[in-house]
Amino acid sequence: MRFINRLAILGAGSAIAAAVLVSPVWSEDMPSEKPMASDSAALSTLDLSLDQAHVILAAAVAKSKEIGTKMDIAIVDAGGNLKAFVREDGAWLGSIDISIKKAKTARYFDMNTGEIGKLSQPGGPLFGIEHSNGGLITFPGGVPIKSGDTVIGAIGVSGSSVENDHTVAEAGAAATK
């Protein structure tokens, strides 16, 4: 019984600590009134639909066939979660993971993976970034997918040269515009 009571006390203490950690902090040098939820602009989140993902995949596969490659193509949603994937017949098995990581990398940083690669070279401001987030890919083939100015997902392509990977990814991403 004493063990159960101690667990209850520990549980209550953890809940209080968690509440303190997530409670907003308001200091004296801030405006006198705290903003109300109704005062702020409505939060709007756009996400990639399944239909859009299929259109993107179809465009990427068409470009892959056009240039004579066999690709692994991954599409992630606004949260970086896998939304759609295709492995063309004969595409490398090792490129499955690479395509998914390229898509996630492009979404996590909302830029082409090749651009991140330029910044992550030795002496660059992002050197070593590929070791974060469970492993990133910092060479071309990952492209954000946008609706207007809002990133709603990303595409990652692997299976050929990085130039071909990027060409196929761009073709897919452009299908939503």
Check residue 177 and give its pLDDT: 75
pTM above the 0.85 mark? no
Express each pLDDT in 108-146 by its tens digit.
999 999 999 999 999 999 999 999 999 999 999 999 999
Q: How confident is the model at residue 88 (pLDDT cuts 50, 70, 90)?
A: very high
Residue range 60-88: mean pLDDT, rounded: 98
Specify whether the CB–CB gap between 109 and 80 falls below 8 A: no
The predicted model gives 76-85 an average pLDDT of 97
Where does residue 174 rank: exposed (0-12), middle (13-18), buried (19+ CB within 10 A)?
A: middle
Please give the class, per CATH, of domain 50-174. alpha beta
pLDDT in tens, 154-168: 999 999 999 999 999
Please name every residue paired with 82 in a beta bridge, in sequence order, or none if there are none: 76
Domain boundaries, the chain: 2-39, 50-174
